[in-house]
Chain A
Amino acid sequence: MQNPEVIIIGAGTNGLAAAVALSKAGMDTLVLEKRAVSGGLSAYHRFGTKYRIPGFRPYPDGSTDMLNKALGITFPQPTSANSTGLWNGDSFDIETLPELADAGKALKTLLSIPLKRASLRNKMAWLPTLLQTQTKDLARWIPLSCVDLLSEFDLCEKQYSALTAPLYTRTFAGPKSPFGALQMLLHANRNNSNGHAVLIQKLEAAARSNGAVIQTGAPVKQICRNSSGVHVLMQDKTPIYARFILATCSPAMLRNHLLNPVLISRWPPVRSRGTCAVLALAMDQLPGWLTSSPACCKID
């Protein structure tokens, strides 16, 4: 293969989605994936001899909509929009707090408008959203903790913990730490949807059909620039040149391994503090509390 126009480092959800978009736009695209399988954090793990588990429980957070529109790929519809807590009582759906869901939508609109290098018109796109009443809620709510945010609504203690636990646990913070509300708002209008295996497969197939090349087992060692241009160095030191390089690995990976530190001395530090672990169980049947839970969603 000739030098590609763009090299994408990493075949996770984001790398593959970019591959679809760029190859669709007619760019000669090469995806380099370190691992033997594509999918990144969304990939299945083998488990025992007969089992596979998904890297995560997929609720692609409204992004399926975006993928639908941008890439023309359709995904299974969500089977359940409920966020359930495991307590004896009614399950609880965040959508029943419409103010919260509305504020969440407004926040997403604001965040999706690029500010840097945006045209004036793009910047002005903030205005209508800013002038909405939700701005008032957002200003008050964003700095709050999860618990303080929920205290503005008429909920019981159990609902508090069920609603907050899935959100703050991904950050290095507790349910009463400020700004937890931000996480809640970002998730306020999410949809639980199944089909993440489908997501990876569909993305991969779409990319390939547009002519993108996806190489697995191909770790990039370094990103370099010399007089002949930008290129990546592979394990065996062979360079691959391209006009653009799109890295989807973590900023820490970029900073610590792939890039010359001199190039990035002015980057703000990015903290990555892992806070969760996964326990997977292979069982001969589902426990009663799971099967009897009305909103329990089935994972493909």
Chain B
Amino acid sequence: MSSSWDAVIIGGGHNGLVCAAYLARAGHKVLVLERREVMGGAAVSEEVFPGFTFSVASYVISLFRPRIIRELELAKYGYQVIPMDCAFQPLHDQRGLARWSDADRTYSEISRYSRHDAENYHDFKRTLTRLGRIAAQVISRPAPTGFSLQDLRTHTEMLPLIRDLEPHELQQLVRLLTLSAVDFLDEWFESDILKAPLSASGIIGTFQGVRSPGTAYVLLHHYMGELDGAFRSWGFARGGTGSVSLACAKAAQAHGAVIRTEAEVTQVRVRNNRATGIVLAGGEEISARRIISNLDPRRTLHGLVGAVHLPEDTVNALAHFTYRGSSGKVNLALDGLPDFTCRPGIGDHLRGDIAIAPSVDYLEQAFDEAKYGAFSSRPFINAVIPSLTDPSIAPPGKHVISCFVQYAPYDLAEGHEAWSLQREAFGQTVLDTLEEFAPKLRDHIEHMQILTPLDLERDFGLTEGNIFHGELSLNQLLFQRPAWGMAGYRTPIRNLWMCGSGTHPGGGVMGASGELAAKALLRERI
């Protein structure tokens, strides 16, 4: 038993690893404890079937903070993201819609459905990019938690950004924060075919429909990525999403951090309202001056600390922090490529993001079933074929398709345990839906991996299968993530901190929570 750790980090998700790297770089003795045999958490690559490497959970990168890449020199440790060039939406009867990073090409695709929308698309992108810049600033800073000096600085830094906005942009910002994705898009576009895939980005990871108020702001996420010049700024990490986590791990190790896998923490030791160490599943105890948890707030405080050690306020706040996972994942190993009826052949349209979102009503109907505790019989699917861009992840000539599927509500009408019985049916539903657009896909399937929300909870430790460690609704963001008074990465237990997606600025492979938590800790001069 070693008692000389400055910091023990519970969980080797990418946020925990970023946090470890920053602390180690500042000269601290850091130990990371990861429950699984691989690092990365939801940002992980695994060779699930021989020769096929899946980005098992998270599949595209956009929001990862450039500052972290620079400061931790992640490029040196293998961080490389290849931008996507296209977003393709197959349809039943027409050619479908592909939007390209080339504006002229996009214009002619959209104008096939609406000249008006093709004209507006450029303006739309410009407005959202401007607003996205503000959002990008918000996620690069700690959330204001009150009226401290640090908060004042955050406020004054943000002011000029807001002041620079034109009045109509400010108005758009307010509308973005309150409207539904569809209502917002209605103000710009007339074509359902364009609005459907755009609005779908408003529901990723939420238990809301495209017509639910408050879904519009998520559109911003697509305009605040920082992969220069790339379409919607999304891309594939070479070697799968896990290579981002591995780059962070290597950076941490290079600065002296120690990482242990298959080391599940079962308890945080608390004495006199202070965290003193942790207990591992085998009973081993490790003490440390600071404990930093990469787990979500419920797992950290309820699970590892225990309600008896917590003030009532915190227990209440935790009870009201909602998860409500709504998505699943199906990963396919193929011996060929899907052939879409509406756009046959192997073209560039397969290299980007493929959205099964033929109409706004299709998406809303998918949500209707989820409301009453069933997975969608015709779900929204966001599929990518990363092996086209990065052949290293599949045997020669073979491919990997990663399908993000919504809705798969954690709470089925029969209870969440029922997912074990419905897993197979869920997978077949996804294949049926894909085959409506790409017939005979099943002929190419060599292996299939199905992840229900229950699997995400059991295998990845994502509470209720929520991919973001808690819903990203307005009441759970900024100074309220995870709760008023805890947004500064601190917990009511002294020396116990949090650095996962359940803290500001939230989920997605951004690294921001890990970075900001580490910097907050370092300001304390641990």
A interface, CB within 8 angstroms of B: 136, 139-144, 148, 151-152, 173, 176-179, 266, 268-269, 271
Contact = CB atoms under 8 A, between A and B. Distances in A.
A138 to B, nearest CB: 10
B175 interface: yes
A152 B321 CA distance: 11
Contact of A268 (B171, B208, B371, B484): B171
19 contacts: A139-B484, A140-B484, A141-B475, A142-B474, A142-B475, A143-B474, A144-B475, A152-B320, A173-B212, A178-B212, A178-B214, A178-B473, A178-B474, A179-B214, A266-B168, A268-B187, A269-B186, A269-B187, A271-B183
A268 B184 CA distance: 11
Given A140-B480, A148-B322, A269-B187, A177 B475 contact: no
Nearest to B147: A131
B178 interface: yes
Nearest to B473: A143
> Chain B: interface residue count, which band?
20 to 34
Contacts of B168: 266
Contact of A139 (B171, B371, B473, B475): B475
Which 9 residue pairs are nearest across A and B when measured between Cβ atoms? Answer: A143-B474, A178-B214, A143-B475, A179-B213, A178-B213, A140-B475, A269-B187, A136-B484, A177-B212
Nearest to A176: B371
B372 to A, nearest CB: 11
A271 B474 CA distance: 23
B390 to A, nearest CB: 38
A-side binding surface: helix, strand, loop or mixed? loop
Contacts of B479: 139
Contacts of A142: 474-475
Contacts of A177: 212-213
Given A140-B475, A173-B213, A178-B208, 12 more contacts: A139-B479, A140-B480, A140-B484, A142-B475, A143-B214, A173-B212, A177-B213, A178-B212, A178-B213, A179-B178, A268-B187, A269-B187
A141 B476 CA distance: 10
A150 to B, nearest CB: 12
Contacts of A179: 178, 213-214
A142 B475 CA distance: 8
Contacts of A140: 320, 475, 480, 484
A268 B183 CA distance: 12
A136 B484 CA distance: 8
B289 to A, nearest CB: 32
Contacts of A136: 484
Contacts of A141: 475
A152 B320 CA distance: 7
Interface in B205-236: 208, 212-214
Contacts of A152: 320
Contacts of B320: 140, 151-152
A139 B214 contact: no
Interface string B311-330: 00000000010100000000
Nearest to A144: B475
Given A140-B484, A176-B371, A268 B213 contact: no
A179 B175 CA distance: 13
Contacts of B178: 179
A12 B269 CA distance: 67
A35 to B, nearest CB: 32
A176 B367 CA distance: 13
